[in-house]
Amino acid sequence: MASASRLALTTVGILFALAHDASAQTFTVRGRVEDAVTRMPVAGAAVTVDGAGAVRTGERGEYIVAGVAAGTRQLRVAALGYADVNMSFVLSGDTTIVVSIRIDPVLLDSIYANARLVRVGGRLTDVADARPVPDATILATASRSSTSRLDGRFAFDRVPTGLPFEVYVLAFSYEPVRLLITPENDTTIDVVLRPDTMMRRLIDAQIKRLDDRVRAYVGPALSVSREELQRYGPVSLMEALEQALRYKPSVTGLDDAPCTFVDEILIPRMLLDDAVSTQPVMDDPASGYAPERIERVEVYAGMVRIYTRRFMQRLVTEEVALARPSYSAVPRGFRGMAPPPQAMCR
């Protein structure tokens, strides 16, 4: 009887010790705080876990809270200009929590009302030749975004002084760049972009696809690369092509090539003096076909095919079928039509 009592007490003691150990066990909560719209990391946000204190996120929006007891816990995130986030979670092991936070317009307006506002601008250039990089996406604090112009410039107005302002640059075929500044006056940032070597390999693989297609074409054909087009300075695409073709065998007159494709799409033709012409497309920088925005041009007998940087990005990231180019001369009776029948070129 006595031995049975001792066994029962021992069992109760073990269970009590296990329960005590479980309640005393601690874990690590780590994660990232990001803008819900831009997905940019939010630096300087305060992250609090009840019973374990508060930490601030670093430049990448990351946080680590150690020594958090197991059980149901509360996590709170507060950041300047954003609405607070409160959430509960059950902790039974080391955990990663990514928190998306949204701009609080009322709070943001009060910050702007009490702060001096300045302009933060910049210019993106290629590290190799200092040429401007257009059409890059620039994300910034408070869900802001901008796109670099043809000259590589971008700007954000009404930026509060004395507060951290983060800029994140994403440009096709370049490594991303992240900058954190605290402006006190109008500020200009010079951002030098370096090529992304892995992306360059992917682009080269797509260029090979296009090269193979050119070689399979029956008749004269040649290609002009992005580097060749940009060699002749800030000129129109037509002028750059004319310069590039001076050093290559001529296969057609650019002005009167009946068919012009942009990114595999036959574009509408225009009539000039009763003749079909590609020049209005390639000679007007406002048309969007500036050399800085072009990855490659193929010139065939009677046909010009233009590939933009945006289309090359599609080739790299999606499954895009490439048609075999073909061209038939405009038959008698169709002379001067715009556009020529689509069956004559593809």
Is residue 69 a contact partner of residue 25, using CB atoms and an 8 Å limit?
A: yes
Residue 19, pLDDT score:
46
Find tokens 């090539």 and name the residue. Answer: 257
Q: Is the pLDDT of residue 294 over 70?
A: yes
Q: In terms of pLDDT, which residue wins out, 68 or 44?
A: 68
Would you tell me how many other CB atoms lie within 10 Å of the CB of residue 239?
A: 16
Average pLDDT over residues 126-155: 90
Ranking 32-41, 76-85, 103-112, 197-206 by mean pLDDT, the lowest is 103-112
Average pLDDT over residues 77-97: 89
Pairwise CA distance, residues 123 & 262, whole Å: 28
Pairwise CA distance, residues 146 & 178, whole Å: 14
C-alpha distances in Å from residue 240, one per residue of 26, 244, 254, 314? 66, 6, 12, 24
Residue 233, pLDDT score:
72
Is residue 259 a contact partner of residue 300, using CB atoms and an 8 Å limit?
A: no
Pairing, β 144-147 against β 137-140 = antiparallel
Residue 135, pLDDT score:
92
Average pLDDT over residues 191-200: 94
Average pLDDT over residues 108-114: 72
pLDDT band at 330 (very low <50, low <70, confident <90, very high): low
pLDDT band at 334 (very low <50, low <70, confident <90, very high): very low
Residue 154 backbone zone (phi > 0: left; psi -120 to 50: alpha; other: beta): beta
Average pLDDT over residues 164-172: 87
Residue 279, pLDDT score:
47
Residue 46, pLDDT score:
87
Which range scores top for mean pLDDT: 83-97, 109-123, 206-220? Answer: 83-97
Q: Report pLDDT digits (tens) over 172-183.
A: 999 988 888 989
**What's the whole-number average pLDDT of the chain?**
79
The residues, ordered by sequence, that sit 6+ positions from 110 with a Cβ below 8 Å of its Cβ are none
Residue 268, pLDDT score:
63
Average pLDDT over residues 130-155: 90
Residue 257, pLDDT score:
67
Residue 7, pLDDT score:
46
- Rounded to 10 degrees, the C-alpha dihedral 42/46/47/50 comes to -170
- Among 103, 99, 60, 113, smallest CA distance to 80 is for 103
Q: Report pLDDT digits (tens) over 259-277.
A: 778 888 877 654 333 333 4
For residue 144, the surrounding DSSP H or E stretch is strand 144-147
Q: Is the pLDDT of residue 148 over 80?
A: yes
Q: Is the pLDDT of residue 214 over 70?
A: yes
Would you tell me how many other CB atoms lie within 10 Å of the CB of residue 211?
A: 13
Q: Is the pLDDT of residue 83 over 50?
A: yes
Residue 193, pLDDT score:
97
55-68 burial, b at 16+ Cβ within 10 Å, e below that, comes to bebeeebbbebeeb
Identify the three-state secondary structure at position 111.
helix
The phi, psi pair for 15, rounded to 5°, reads -60, -40
Residue 291 backbone zone (phi > 0: left; psi -120 to 50: alpha; other: beta): alpha
Residue 18 exposure: Cα atoms within 13 Å on the Cβ side: 6
Q: What percent of the chain has pLDDT over 90?
A: 32
Pairwise CA distance, residues 261 & 247, whole Å: 23
DSSP string computed for 62-110: EEEEEEEESEEEEEEEE-TTB--EEEEEEESS-EEEEEEE-B-HHHHHH
Which range scores top for mean pLDDT: 99-103, 199-203, 297-301? Answer: 199-203
Residue 282, pLDDT score:
54
Q: Report pLDDT digits (tens) over 9-61.
A: 444 444 444 444 545 688 999 999 998 888 888 888 889 999 888 888 887 88
Average pLDDT over residues 83-110: 85
Domains of the chain: 27-102 (2.60.40.1120), 115-193 (2.60.40.1120), 197-344 (2.170.130)
- Among 208, 181, 57, smallest CA distance to 119 is for 181
DSSP string computed for 153-199: EEEEEEEETTS-EEEEEE-TTB--EEEEE--SS-EEEEEEE-B-HHH
Q: Is the pLDDT of residue 229 over 50?
A: yes
Q: What percent of the chain has pLDDT over 70?
A: 78
Q: Is the pLDDT of residue 292 over 50?
A: yes
Residue 55, pLDDT score:
87
Pairwise CA distance, residues 46 & 77, whole Å: 6
Is residue 274 a contact partner of residue 212, using CB atoms and an 8 Å limit?
A: no
Is residue 56 a contact partner of residue 47, using CB atoms and an 8 Å limit?
A: yes
Is residue 210 a contact partner of residue 223, using CB atoms and an 8 Å limit?
A: yes
Pairing, β 71-78 against β 85-91 = antiparallel
**Both structure tokens of 90:** 């059950």
